[in-house]
């Protein structure tokens, strides 16, 4: 004890001496003043201006959901981890239909209101400084199947044939069952902990944990998250590199196993075309539902009852084009669908089909079709995103391949998902890369094929080997 008092006396003398000599320790500067604002209620996509929100960057969603199949009732408890990009006095999340019971920000109760169709407006107890990581916890509940949806590829929460439920949709999906920044521009990691009665199985994205728990460690666009609750039979295996494969088959889809079992073969082929498989896990969810689309839900595509092998190829090509590399705006949808559709042609080429012959035949069939050629592939306008990308988009990419040659085209297919891995990119980014890789001025080609509304001139319609 005495030794310690002596040491303290020496320290005090040093401090006094420093003060007398003008070398006193300076106090840290006061924090910069905070100027809280309201985060924007939209993320800036001109086609869907109310989608998503501004003022923060979502980092992770942890969704805890309890679902009762007989009643269709869902109770949710979601924590959104985000980083403020400006001083926030309030901010929005997107949530459709369900009733909000409480909101907390960093453990403190927050005020909230509902505005427009799906804005959950949150006012924290104290402003949030830009650069701060904060956590918002929302407790909510209701019957998500009662929330209206727009139809088309926006499916909403649906009851399945076996009495369970599933959630797939594009461009809107996640906000039907958890609060989210619903824009592809703000990707985040995702964890689901689901509670269902005994006898039911839950399938979702990423790697499987304890029953009902799924974790996707790679950033995911929110419309690519999913949940399926059903009486699935589940197959588990691994790819040659150890990537876990989990595939579920709803009752009545047992014959789809012949397709699902070919997934390792398909992913091996696609890896040869696009580079290493970019996701944390693989598999599929085979529904016994007659929805008119399958969807590339990240790591584990969701398939309609009619899905065939080309569908398997298409949806898994999205794991590179659309899932790992996501669009910046919905006008860039060709980056997803044109490439996934062309992957089906690449698979057909693997099986011995002449793509040049197939291309010429398609041109002859469509040459006189104004409806076919007036479909823009870029800048098509809201509501027209999915009209040309599955058919005209295939022809456009094959023409591009012949225009720049196979070596440059192959390099492009590898470099694109590598450069923008787990990020976002625009169609302008792709045109820039194609120009750099090919060494050609492709402006006129892209104008005719991707922005044009009529049959391209022969020079662009039959480039390279297509001229013969």
Pair 310, 422 in one domain:
no
Which of 266, 292, 324 lies at the terminal end of a domain, its last residue? 324
Question: Rounded CA gap, 387 and 431, in Å?
Answer: 21
- The answer, yes or no, to whether residue 19 has pLDDT greater than 50, is no
Pair 272, 215 in one domain:
no
Which tens digits make up the pLDDT trace of 213-249? Answer: 999 999 999 999 999 999 999 999 999 999 999 999 9
Does residue 10 belong to any structural domain of this protein? no
Does residue 391 belong to any structural domain of this protein? yes
Kindly report the CATH number assigned to the domain that includes residue 104.
2.60.40.1730
The per-residue pLDDT of the chain, averaged, comes to 94
pLDDT band for 309, please (50, 70, 90 cuts).
Answer: very high
Question: Rounded CA gap, 377 and 450, in Å?
Answer: 5
Which tens digits make up the pLDDT trace of 362-405? Answer: 999 999 999 999 999 999 999 999 999 999 999 999 999 999 99
Does residue 17 belong to any structural domain of this protein? no
Pair 207, 112 in one domain:
yes
**Residues 239/277, Cβ–Cβ less than 8 Å:** yes
Pair 59, 175 in one domain:
yes
Question: Rounded CA gap, 325 and 96, in Å?
Answer: 27
Which tens digits make up the pLDDT trace of 56-88? Answer: 999 999 999 999 999 999 999 999 999 999 999
pTM metric for this prediction? 0.92
Which of 308, 324, 340 lies at the terminal end of a domain, its last residue? 324
Does residue 62 belong to any structural domain of this protein? yes
HSE at residue 423, side-chain half, CA atoms within 13 A, is: 9
Pair 332, 426 in one domain:
yes
Query: What confidence score (pLDDT) does residue 26 get?
Result: 77
Pair 174, 209 in one domain:
yes
- The answer, yes or no, to whether residue 55 has pLDDT greater than 70, is yes
Kindly report the CATH number assigned to the domain that includes residue 317.
3.30.2010.30
Residue 329, beta-bridge partner list? none
Query: What confidence score (pLDDT) does residue 76 get?
Result: 98
Does residue 255 belong to any structural domain of this protein? yes
Does residue 106 belong to any structural domain of this protein? yes
Which tens digits make up the pLDDT trace of 248-302? Answer: 999 999 999 999 999 999 999 999 999 999 999 999 999 999 999 999 999 999 9
Pair 339, 361 in one domain:
yes
Kindly report the CATH number assigned to the domain that includes residue 421.
1.10.390.10
Give the residue numbers spanning the domain of 238. 232-324
Pair 257, 400 in one domain:
no
Indicate if the alpha-carbon torsion angle 56, 119, 169, 153 is positive or negative: negative
Pair 317, 341 in one domain:
no
Q: Give the SS3 label for residue 5.
A: helix
**Residue (of 50, 126, 53) closest to 88 by Cα position:** 126
Does residue 246 belong to any structural domain of this protein? yes
- The answer, yes or no, to whether residue 135 has pLDDT greater than 90, is yes
What is the enclosing helix (H) or strand (E) of 120? strand 119-123
- What are the start-end ranges of the H helices in 170-308? 257-260, 263-274
Pair 336, 320 in one domain:
no
Indicate if the alpha-carbon torsion angle 366, 369, 370, 375 is positive or negative: negative
Pair 436, 303 in one domain:
no
Structure tokens that stand for 390 in this block? 């599955």
- Give the count of domains, the chain: 3
Query: What confidence score (pLDDT) does residue 13 get?
Result: 39
CA separation (Å) from 396 to 37, 264, 290, 333? 45, 29, 30, 14
Which of 293, 324, 355 lies at the terminal end of a domain, its last residue? 324
Pair 144, 157 in one domain:
yes
Does residue 1 belong to any structural domain of this protein? no
* Residue 232 dihedral angles phi and psi, to the nearest 5°: -70, 145
**Residue (of 424, 460, 425) closest to 440 by Cα position:** 460
Q: Read off the pLDDT of each residue in 338-364 and give the average, rounded to a whole number.
A: 98
Chain CA centroid to CA 190, Å: 11
């Amino acid at each position: 004890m005495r030794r310690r008092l002596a040491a303290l006396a020496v320290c005090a003398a040093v401090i006094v001496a420093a003060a007398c000599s003008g070398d006193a320790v300076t106090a840290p500067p006061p924090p910069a003043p905070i100027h809280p604002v309201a985060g924007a209620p939209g993320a800036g996509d001109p086609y869907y201006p109310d989608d998503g929100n501004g003022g923060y960057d979502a980092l992770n969603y942890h969704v805890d959901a309890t679902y009762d199949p007989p009643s269709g009732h869902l109770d949710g408890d979601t924590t959104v981890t985000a980083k403020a990009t400006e001083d926030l006095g309030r901010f929005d999340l997107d949530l459709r239909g369900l009733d909000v019971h409480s909101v907390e920000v960093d453990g403190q109760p927050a005020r909230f209101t509902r505005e427009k169709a799906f804005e959950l407006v949150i006012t924290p107890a104290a402003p949030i400084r830009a650069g701060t990581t904060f956590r918002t916890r929302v407790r909510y509940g209701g019957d998500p199947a009662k929330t209206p949806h727009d139809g088309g590829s926006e499916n909403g929460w649906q009851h399945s044939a076996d009495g369970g439920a599933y959630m797939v949709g594009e461009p809107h999906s996640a906000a039907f069952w958890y609060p989210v920044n619903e824009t592809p521009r703000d990707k985040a990691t995702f964890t689901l902990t689901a509670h269902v009665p005994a006898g039911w199985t839950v399938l979702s994205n990423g790697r499987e944990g304890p029953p009902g728990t799924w974790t996707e460690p790679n950033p995911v666009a929110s419309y690519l998250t999913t949940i399926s609750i059903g009486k699935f039979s589940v197959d588990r295996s691994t790819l040659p590199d150890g990537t876990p494969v989990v595939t579920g088959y709803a009752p009545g889809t047992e014959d789809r196993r012949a397709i699902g079992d070919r997934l390792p073969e398909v992913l091996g082929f696609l890896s040869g075309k696009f580079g290493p498989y970019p996701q944390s896990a693989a598999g599929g969810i085979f529904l016994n539902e007659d929805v008119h689309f399958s969807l590339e839900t990240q790591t584990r595509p969701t398939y309609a009852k009619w899905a065939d092998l080309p569908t398997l190829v298409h949806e898994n090509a999205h794991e590179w084009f659309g899932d790992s590399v996501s669009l910046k705006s919905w006008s860039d949808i060709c980056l997803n669908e044109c490439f996934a559709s062309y992957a089906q042609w690449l698979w057909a080429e693997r099986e011995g089909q002449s793509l040049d012959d197939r291309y010429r035949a398609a041109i002859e069939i469509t040459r006189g079709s104004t409806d076919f050629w007036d479909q823009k592939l870029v800048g098509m306008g809201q509501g027209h995103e999915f009209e040309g990308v599955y058919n005209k988009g295939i022809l456009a990419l094959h023409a591009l391949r012949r225009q720049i040659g196979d070596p440059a085209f192959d390099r492009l297919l590898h470099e694109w998902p590598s450069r923008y891995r787990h990020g976002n990119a625009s169609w302008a980014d792709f045109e820039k890369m194609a120009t750099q890789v090919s060494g050609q001025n492709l402006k006129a080609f892209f104008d005719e094929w991707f922005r044009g509304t009529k049959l391209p001139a022969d020079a662009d319609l039959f480039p390279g080997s297509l001229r013969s």
